[in-house]
């Protein structure tokens, strides 16, 4: 009887150990993938370190021959006697144009992303999202030509309006007569350029909001705007910050569009409507071919400052996102 029972008992189902053995057949592939991933990360660090070392060495050669203060000098004349080159105007123009672009683009991009993800019907949301993604693929020089032929001629009226009604702020006071080839025009153009990037990333983040959170808020009587304000925006805050930093990175390093629109000068003006100004990338593109060896080293030194500025901005964004995640985890 006992032997028949033992014989008729079905074999046990495969347990966890059996499953692990079956899955372990790809262990060699896992090791290869791990090695490739780790090697890619190390290669990226090596490339970044090589770029930083090259910029530092060439910048050191230029700064050692500068008779003035590299950080505070307004002139840019490496071929002069004595040579003089400073980044005060370039640093100011780069930061100001990027701040203007972010102030205009981020609120508009978040609004478009919310409209596509939560307000627009599907028949409208899909084509609109496609158009936004298509705008992100437009080359910079196309934006620059459009800005020079359209924005510059038609922004004169806006500049006059800002000077009339907001001139008391000192920033929007126009003290020089000229076409609208100013830092304000550059900021508007950069805002249009980074708008698709911020919109696309923000839209994808908003679409990842748990559906149950929104349905629970609606079941409690919340309006659609209250659902967005209490559920969607808090969930997507870190994603919006990341999208904004991506847009800021493009705004800081944009070259051809700025060079096409801006009238370069090395006069530091706090009035954003006045013609002139300059940015790091625009100055490098405009001066590189006509510079001597010292001039090119000076341009590389300005590129090093832009490199450090970009790293600081990205590092600050990572710190903000990490702190918000810690705060969200503690609150949960």
In a domain, residue 99? The reply is yes
| Domains of the chain: total | 1
Give per-residue pLDDT as tens, 61-91.
888 877 667 787 788 877 777 777 888 889 9
Q: How far apart, in whole angstroms, are the C-alpha atoms of residue 62 and residue 56?
A: 10
Give the Å distances, CA to CA, from 109 to 42, 104, 187: 35, 9, 15
d(CA 203, CA 198): 8
Q: What is the pLDDT of residue 177?
A: 75
Which parts of the chain sit beneath pLDDT 50?
Answer: 1-7, 16-25
Closest by CA position to 206, among listed 223, 227, 221, 192: 227
CATH number at residue 147: 1.10.3720.10
309 domain-assigned = no
Q: How much is the pLDDT for 18? A: 45
The domain containing residue 196 runs over which residues?
A: 95-292
Hey, which residues does 275 pair with through a beta bridge? 182
Q: Is residue 188 part of a domain?
A: yes
Q: Which residue, 254, 270, 268, is CA-closest to 172?
A: 270
What pLDDT, on the 0 to 100 scale, is given for residue 1? 43
Residue 174 is predicted with a pLDDT of 84
Query: Tokens in use for 275?
Result: 């013609």
**What pLDDT does 80 receive?**
72
As given in the structure block, the two tokens for residue 156 are: 């004169």
* Residue 159 to residues 4, 116, 270, 327, Cα–Cα distance (Å): 98, 32, 15, 43
CB burial of 301-320 (b: ≥16 within 10 Å; e: otherwise) equals bbbbbbbebeeeeeeebeee
Position 71 in a domain:
no
- Is omega for the bond preceding 75 within 30 degrees of 0, making it cis? no
Conformation bin of residue 84: beta by default, left when phi > 0, alpha when psi is -120 to 50: beta
Q: Is residue 130 part of a domain?
A: yes
- pLDDT in the model for residue 4: 44
Contact 90, 306 (CB under 8 A): no
Q: What is the DSSP string of 76-119?
A: EETTSSS-EE--HHHHHHHHHHHHHHHHHHHHHHHHHHHIIIII
Number of H-type helices and E-type strands within the chain: 15, 2
Sign of CA dihedral 170, 176, 182, 185: positive
269 occurs within a structural domain: yes
Does 266 map to a domain? Answer: yes
87 occurs within a structural domain? no
């Amino acid at each position: 009887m006992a032997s028949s029972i033992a014989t008729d008992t079905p074999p046990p189902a495969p347990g966890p150990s059996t499953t692990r053995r079956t899955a372990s057949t790809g262990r060699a592939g896992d090791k290869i993938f791990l090695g490739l991933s780790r090697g890619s990360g190390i290669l990226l660090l090596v490339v970044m370190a090589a770029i930083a070392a090259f910029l530092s060495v060439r910048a050191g050669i230029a700064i050692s021959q500068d008779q003035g203060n590299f950080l505070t000098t307004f002139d840019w004349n490496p071929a002069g006697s004595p040579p003089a080159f400073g980044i005060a105007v370039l640093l100011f123009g780069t930061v100001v144009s990027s701040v203007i672009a972010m102030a205009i683009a981020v609120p508009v991009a978040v609004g478009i992303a919310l409209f596509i993800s939560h307000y627009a019907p599907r028949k409208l949301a899909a084509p609109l999202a496609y158009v936004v993604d298509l705008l992100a693929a437009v080359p910079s020089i196309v934006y620059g030509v459009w800005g020079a032929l359209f924005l510059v001629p038609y922004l004169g009226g806006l500049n006059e309006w800002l000077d009339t009604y907001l001139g008391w702020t000192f920033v929007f006071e126009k003290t020089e007569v000229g076409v609208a080839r100013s830092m304000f025009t550059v900021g508007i153009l950069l805002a249009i350029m980074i708008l698709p990037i911020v919109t696309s990333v923000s839209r994808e983040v908003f679409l990842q909001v748990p559906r149950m959170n929104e349905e629970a808020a609606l079941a409690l009587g919340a309006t659609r705007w209250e659902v967005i304000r209490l559920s969607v925006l808090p969930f997507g805050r870190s994603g919006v910050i990341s999208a904004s930093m991506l847009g800021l990175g493009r705004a800081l390093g944009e070259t051809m569009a700025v060079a096409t629109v801006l009238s370069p000068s090395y006069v530091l003006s706090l009035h954003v409507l006045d013609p002139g100004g300059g940015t790091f990338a625009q100055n490098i593109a405009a001066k590189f071919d006509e510079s001597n060896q010292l001039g090119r080293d000076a341009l590389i030194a300005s590129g090093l400052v832009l490199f450090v500025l970009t790293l600081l901005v990205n590092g600050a964004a990572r710190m903000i996102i990490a702190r918000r995640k810690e705060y969200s985890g503690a609150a949960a």
